[in-house]
Amino acid sequence: MRYLIAAAAVLGLTACTQETQNEIGRAVQNWTGTNGVLEVYAGPQLVRRFIEIDKLSTATGTKDGQPRPYRFGYGVMDENLNGQRDPGEKKVYFEVSDFSTPYVFYENPR
């Protein structure tokens, strides 16, 4: 019986479109949480780092539902850029533009 249920689950996932599979993956990730890091650069220089980010979201319009050209989230601003939360470093809201701000978002390996 277990094998039949497992086979049905695999078959169900393979029948989904790629976008649906991505949505399922994001839903699981949102539920389990991600220890994300966002680094913002000015040229080759790292100028801001946000740590302990659960997710980075694309803004959408309230009336038209269209995606906006920026991403936003909540994370701890790593003021001294040492990659860890120190006393006094607080969780903040942030936005990064899709057009002018070079940034890298990744899952913290630690």
For every one of its 110 residues, what pLDDT tens digit does the chain have, with 9 covering 90 and above?
554 454 445 545 555 666 665 565 555 444 445 789 999 999 899 999 999 998 888 889 999 989 999 989 999 999 999 999 999 999 999 999 888 779 888 888 77
Q: Which long-range contacts (CB under 8 A, 24 or more apart) does 83-91 make?
A: 83/37, 83/49, 83/51, 83/108, 83/110, 84/51, 85/51, 85/52, 91/52
Stated pTM of the model: 0.67
Cβ contact 107:39 at 8 Å: no
- Provide the residue ranges of all domains of the chain, joining segments of one domain with +: 1-32, 33-110
Q: How many residues does the chain have?
A: 110
